[in-house]
Structure 1
Amino acid sequence: MKNPILWSLILSLALLSSCKKTEARKPLAKSTESATKSSVERNKEQNKAEELLVKDFMAKDSLKQYISSNQGFWYIYEHQNVRDSVRPIKGNLVEYEYEVTDLDGNILYSKANIGVKSYLVDQEDLLIGLRQGLKLMKKDEVVSFVFPSHLAYGYSGDQDKIGINQPLVYRVRLIAIQNEK
């Protein structure tokens, strides 16, 4: 330590400069409102495009009169049960079989590959569209449902045969309703 004054001065400056208050860095301002609006607009455009595809599909099948549901899908009875009035309600166990096709009629999943399924109405997970559609059916009916993607597999598809944002046709046969009330 040849020059104690110099070292004292350097040490004092270091201490004084380190005592300066640090200011927190402000976060980058990204408007979540604009991101939400953008997402809403994108979804509206997607829904309009899908609705046009579905309406085109139904127009090509002009011999059938599709019914528009309150839940946002369309359906037609292939075989209607006019004798019974019982429809599934919450807590009923239903057995059904179905096949899934795209709007071009290509079979994505056949009923032979899927087999007979059972579902406890409104108490188990199931695709939104199929859950609502089954409640419109009676035993022994066959109904074709046309689901927009948001009522089927949505923006992720099924990671196999069903693509992203793909409208689907489900042809469903309701085999049984247990615990009928």
Structure 2
Amino acid sequence: MKSIITIKYIVICTFLLFGFVNCKEKAQQRKRVTKDMLLEMNRQMVNTEQEVIQKYIEDNGLDMQKSETGYYYQITTPSNADSIRIGDGVVLAYTTRLLDGTICYSSATEGLMNFTVGKAQVEAGLEQFVQVLGQGAIAKLILPPYLAHGLAGDDNKIPKLAILMMDIEVVEIIHPVAEHSK
């Protein structure tokens, strides 16, 4: 009787072990497939976003350039002043809207935007772009989601995966005071 219980125990343990190993292998296969699928979905999403932006630019007769990182811009009023640098404080008049024209934020209602370049206080694309501007510059900027608020939006007025259009004017640049050595 004891040997039958032992054999049943061994058979049950073998089935459980086989099931565990089989489930683990299937989970690893799903993980690989999921990673590949996510990479392909990301590529397709970026391509679709670029097509939407290009169509918006064409439909609205804009003359925009594309940066190496993927934002689009048009400087409507250039500046002869020095460009903004990392560490500079920046004050902007701005309007942020969705491509359908919905205004999300504006300095007319929210007040001027203040941030320090290099501190990741604003959208990555905006922080990159202002570094080509100087005092008094006026520009249009289109940010794809990966340079704006991405998958999550801003939990307020900007939805997830939103492409943003920004009109900005550099009102003031605040250069940090250099420490003088004695």
Amino acid at match of 2:87: G
Larger Rg: 1 or 2? 1
Find the residue that maps to 1:49 and give its secondary structure: helix
Match of 1:45 in 2: 44
* Aligned-pair identity (%): 18
Cα separation, 1, equivalents of 2:169 and 2:147: 19
- Any unmatched runs of 5+ in structure 1? 1-8
Q: 1:79 aligns with which of 55, 71, 77?
A: 77
Letter in 2 for 1:43: N
Q: Is the 8 A contact 2:91 2:114 kept in 1?
A: yes
Q: Is the 8 A contact 1:99 1:114 kept in 2?
A: no
Q: 1:151 aligns with which of 147, 151, 159?
A: 147
Q: In structure 1, give the amino acid aligned to 2:54.
A: K
**Where do residues 122-133 of structure 1 align in structure 2 (5 Å cutoff)?**
122-133=118-129
Closer/same/farther in 2, CA of residues 28 and 50 from structure 1, 3 Å limit: same
Deviation at 1:18, TM superposition (A): 9.9
1:70 is aligned to 2:68: yes
Match of 1:174 among 162, 170, 173: 170
Residues 12-44 of structure 1 deviation map (CA, whole Å, 9 limit, x = unaligned): 569957985956532252322221110111111
Where do 1:6-155 residues align within 5 Å? Answer: 22=13, 24=17, 25-26=20-21, 27=24, 29-30=26-27, 31=29, 32-62=31-61, 64-81=62-79, 83-84=80-81, 86-155=82-151
Ranges of 4+ aligned residues in structure 1 off by more than 6 Å = none
The Cα of 1:146 is off from its aligned counterpart by 0.5
Distance 1:38 1:13, change over 3 A: same
Paired letter, 1:53: V
Q: In structure 2, what is the Cα distance between the partners aligned to 1:28 and 1:125?
A: 43
1:97 touches 1:173 (CA, 8 Å); kept in 2?
yes
Residue type at the aligned position of 2:132: L
What is the letter of the counterpart of residue 147 of structure 1? L
Question: What's the TM-score once normalised by structure 2's chain length?
Answer: 0.79
Q: Which amino acid aligns with 2:98?
A: D
Q: Distance in 2 between matches of 1:94 and 1:58?
A: 27
Please say if residues 108 and 162 of structure 1, whose CA atoms lie closer than 8 Å, have aligned partners that are also in contact.
yes
Equivalenced residue count is 168
- Structure 1 residues 133 and 114, CA, compared in 2 at 3 Å: closer, same or farther? farther
Could you tell me the TM-score, scaled by structure 1's length? 0.80
Take 1:126 and 1:161, find their aligned partners in 2: how far apart are those partners? 15
CA drift at 1:77: 1.3
Q: Secondary structure at the match of 1:29?
A: helix
